[in-house]
């Protein structure tokens, strides 16, 4: 074959790191990257909190990868809706699925469907301007909010709710979210986790930020920081640097004085497992089982003590994890929420290897790790793919050309990477008018309009008049 044609479904971190590794190989390899939205970068664009701009810097690396003449981006193309796996394989030697995990895991407790109960993916997508969530509404007139989860997503949710809206307006937060948060009446944010502080998945830096949120005090009950012997041993382990930093931060929250305090508070609760959400027409509170940790260090499990407590609140956010969505015609592990695979190579129902089909990122290993974790993950998948070269179709493939022609025949509006740059420039320009890094387009039709506008006309696009920042 003259060149190896590889399709990557998904344009988030894992997809771009896979493309980078493939393009650096000595073999002549061409990449076709397919993205459901017109805009690329996945969670870097739509998942990173707006007040964490440094975590968005990997997009600069992805942009350099996309400049390769052997890289072809086809945005606004959805697998299943616009193209099938079979059609992609007909013109590529292999497919790498890098489409992430965005389906929120269910609490699976009574009352979960009450009005006022939301998933983390909904709230994060809303304040980040994701087109799927732009029309959602959250009742921020409620004074007491419960966040269920013990990871960084739970921290992001709580921090965005706790921060003064004026501190967020200079970020790339979606305009509709900034406006709604400016009218928020939320005064108490309570973070609940079923495990103890040494088992929580908070990264030390993210947790430490809660000591410096303006007009908000963070608190934790000293009782929640009492550790059993196994947890003490976990904290004493040399590899437990984050655990010890977190314990130090949390201990600093135990002596917080609230007398006379009129600002917001954020309280961390450990050893609390939600068992029921109650209310008549909407959420009015949560029933929680008091838990304990039992077992050997790093192998402890959660056990109910028999004690139950009720907590009143008017809004609940669930941040207990994400799962991938099934792909038509591809095996799926519903229990783990991933594509079943061995070192990135997909496997069938009888554990047989499916040569030519691969996975990377959250759809491969589950929703865990940081953005940087995806690099090693993608390198592993690419290594597996390249080890399978002798088992892949030896016929010449036409790659992105055939897909572009097929999509054109179906009258699908495809966004190229050059057209994404037009959208990018328009968002940055709109942001400058408001003293922000960018003002994201949240409507796909608006994105497509800008994508089709020639570069000269982009200068004449009418953006909203700049609004004064609220300080």
CATH number at residue 122: 3.50.50.60
End residue of a domain, out of 397, 415, 433? 415
Question: pLDDT band at residue 325, thresholds of 50, 70 and 90?
Answer: confident
Rounded Cα gap, residues 21 and 103, in angstroms: 28
The reported pLDDT for the residue numbered 209 is 97
One domain for residues 316 and 332: no
The reported pLDDT for the residue numbered 335 is 84
One domain for residues 60 and 49: yes
At residue 330, does pLDDT exceed 80? yes
Rg (the chain; Cα; Å): 24
Residue 336 lies in a domain: yes
Q: Which residue has the higher pLDDT, 326 or 307?
A: 307
End residue of a domain, out of 381, 397, 415? 415
At residue 470, does pLDDT exceed 80? no
At residue 460, does pLDDT exceed 50? no
DSSP letter, residue 56: G
Task: Please give the full DSSP string across 366-425, using - where no structure is assigned.
Answer: -S-S-TTHHHHHHHHHHHHHHHTGGGS--S---THHHHHHHHHHTT--PBPHHHHHHHHH
One domain for residues 267 and 142: yes
Question: pLDDT band at residue 103, thresholds of 50, 70 and 90?
Answer: confident
The reported pLDDT for the residue numbered 328 is 87
The CATH number of whichever domain residue 91 belongs to comes to 3.40.50.720
Distances (CA, A) of 169 to 178, 373, 395, 471: 6, 30, 54, 9
One domain for residues 260 and 175: yes
The reported pLDDT for the residue numbered 1 is 58
Q: Compute the average pLDDT of residues 88-107.
A: 90
Residue 463 lies in a domain: no
One domain for residues 19 and 141: no
Residue 61 lies in a domain: yes
End residue of a domain, out of 290, 320, 350? 320
CA dihedral 120, 123, 124, 129 (to 10 degrees): 150
Residue 375 lies in a domain: yes
Residue 427 lies in a domain: no
> What pTM did the predictor assign?
0.91
At residue 371, does pLDDT exceed 70? yes
Distances (CA, A) of 119 to 75, 154, 302: 27, 10, 23
pLDDT in tens, 265-321: 999 999 999 999 999 989 999 999 999 999 999 999 999 999 999 999 999 999 998
The reported pLDDT for the residue numbered 224 is 96
Q: Give me the number of domains the chain comprises.
A: 2
Range of the domain at 71: 4-102+323-415
Q: Which residue has the tokens 């990871």?
A: 151
Residue 284 lies in a domain: yes
One domain for residues 76 and 153: no
| Nearest Cα to Cα of residue 154 among 194, 214, 86, 201 | 201
Residue 465 lies in a domain: no
**For residue 61, what are its two tokens?**
């690396």
One domain for residues 311 and 170: yes
Q: Compute the average pLDDT of residues 66-87.
A: 96
Question: pLDDT band at residue 326, thresholds of 50, 70 and 90?
Answer: confident
Question: pLDDT band at residue 109, thresholds of 50, 70 and 90?
Answer: very high
Residue 340 lies in a domain: yes
Q: Which residue has the higher pLDDT, 254 or 460?
A: 254
**For residue 380, what are its two tokens?**
């592993």
Return the biggest CA–CA distance within the chain.
75
At residue 340, does pLDDT exceed 60? yes
The reported pLDDT for the residue numbered 421 is 96
pLDDT in tens, 184-239: 999 999 999 999 999 999 999 999 999 999 999 999 999 999 999 999 999 998 78
Question: pLDDT band at residue 399, thresholds of 50, 70 and 90?
Answer: very high
CB-based burial label for 451 (10 Å; 0-12, 13-18, 19+): buried
One domain for residues 261 and 141: yes
Question: What is the number of other CB atoms lying within 10 angstroms of the CB of residue 15?
Answer: 30
The percent of residues in the chain predicted with pLDDT above 70, rounded, is 96
The reported pLDDT for the residue numbered 331 is 92
| Nearest Cα to Cα of residue 304 among 281, 275, 327, 277 | 275
- Partners of 415 in beta bridges: 75
Question: What is the number of other CB atoms lying within 10 angstroms of the CB of residue 130?
Answer: 22
One domain for residues 50 and 197: no
One domain for residues 244 and 375: no
In which element (H, E) is residue 359 found? Answer: strand 353-359
| Nearest Cα to Cα of residue 92 among 401, 426, 470, 309 | 401
At residue 461, does pLDDT exceed 90? no
Task: Please give the full DSSP string across 228-285, using - where no structure is assigned.
Answer: -HHHHHHHHSTT-HHHHHHHHHHHHTTT---TT--SEEEEEE-SEEEEEEE-SSB--E
pLDDT in tens, 299-309: 999 999 999 99
**For residue 394, what are its two tokens?**
């030896």
pLDDT in tens, 123-179: 999 999 999 999 999 999 999 999 999 999 999 999 999 999 999 999 999 999 999
Question: pLDDT band at residue 76, thresholds of 50, 70 and 90?
Answer: very high
One domain for residues 226 and 350: no
Residues in the chain: 471
Q: Which residue has the tokens 């709604």?
A: 180
One domain for residues 299 and 343: no
């Amino acid at each position: 074959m003259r060149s190896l044609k590889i399709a990557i479904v998904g344009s988030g971190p894992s997809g771009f790191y896979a493309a980078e590794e493939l393009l650096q190989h000595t073999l002549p390899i061409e990449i076709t990257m397919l993205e459901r939205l017109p805009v690329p970068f996945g969670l870097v664009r739509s998942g990173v909190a707006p007040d964490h701009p440094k975590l968005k810097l990997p997009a600069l690396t992805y942009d350099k990868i996309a400049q390769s003449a052997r890289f072809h981006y086809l945005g606004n193309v959805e697998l299943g809706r616009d193209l099938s796996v079979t059609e992609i394989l007909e013109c590529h030697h292999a497919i790498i699925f890098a489409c992430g995990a965005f389906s929120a895991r269910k609490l699976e407790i009574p009352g979960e469907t009450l009005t006022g109960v939301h998933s983390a993916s909904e709230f994060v997508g809303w304040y980040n301007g994701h087109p799927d969530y732009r029309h959602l509404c959250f009742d921020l007139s409620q004074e007491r909010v419960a966040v269920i989860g013990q990871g960084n997503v739970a921290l992001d949710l709580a921090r965005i709710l706790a921060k003064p809206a004026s501190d967020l307006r200079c970020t790339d937060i979606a305009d509709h979210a900034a406006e709604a948060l400016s009218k928020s009446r939320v005064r108490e944010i309570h973070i609940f986790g079923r495990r103890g502080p040494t088992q929580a998945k908070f990264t030390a830096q993210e947790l430490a930020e809660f000591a410096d949120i303006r007009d908000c005090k963070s608190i934790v009950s000293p009782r929640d920081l009492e550790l059993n012997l196994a947890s003490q041993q976990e904290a004493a382990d040399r590899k437990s640097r984050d655990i010890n930093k977190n314990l130090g931060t949390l201990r600093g929250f135990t002596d917080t004085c609230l007398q006379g305090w009129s600002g917001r508070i954020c309280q961390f609760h450990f050893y609390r497992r939600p068992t029921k959400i109650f209310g008549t027409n909407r959420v009015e509170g949560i029933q929680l089982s008091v838990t304990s940790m039992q077992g050997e260090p790093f192998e402890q499990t959660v056990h109910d003590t028999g004690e139950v407590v009720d907590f009143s609140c008017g809004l609940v956010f669930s941040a207990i994890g994400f799962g991938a969505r099934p792909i038509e015609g591809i095996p799926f592990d519903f229990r783990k929420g991933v594509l079943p695979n061995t070192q990135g190579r997909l496997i069938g129902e009888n554990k047989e290897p499916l040569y030519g089909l691969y996975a990377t990122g959250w759809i491969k290993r589950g929703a865990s790790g940081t953005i940087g974790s995806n690099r090693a993950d993608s390198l592993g998948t690419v290594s597996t793919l390249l080890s399978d070269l002798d088992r892949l179709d030896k016929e010449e493939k036409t790659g992105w050309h055939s897909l572009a022609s097929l999509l054109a025949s179906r009258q699908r509006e495809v966004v190229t990477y050059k057209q994404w740059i037009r959208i990018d420039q328009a968002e940055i320009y709109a942001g400058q008018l408001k003293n922000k890094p960018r003002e994201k387009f949240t409507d796909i039709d608006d994105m497509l309009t800008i994508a089709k506008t020639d570069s000269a006309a982009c200068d004449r696009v009418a953006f909203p008049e700049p609004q004064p920042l609220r300080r």
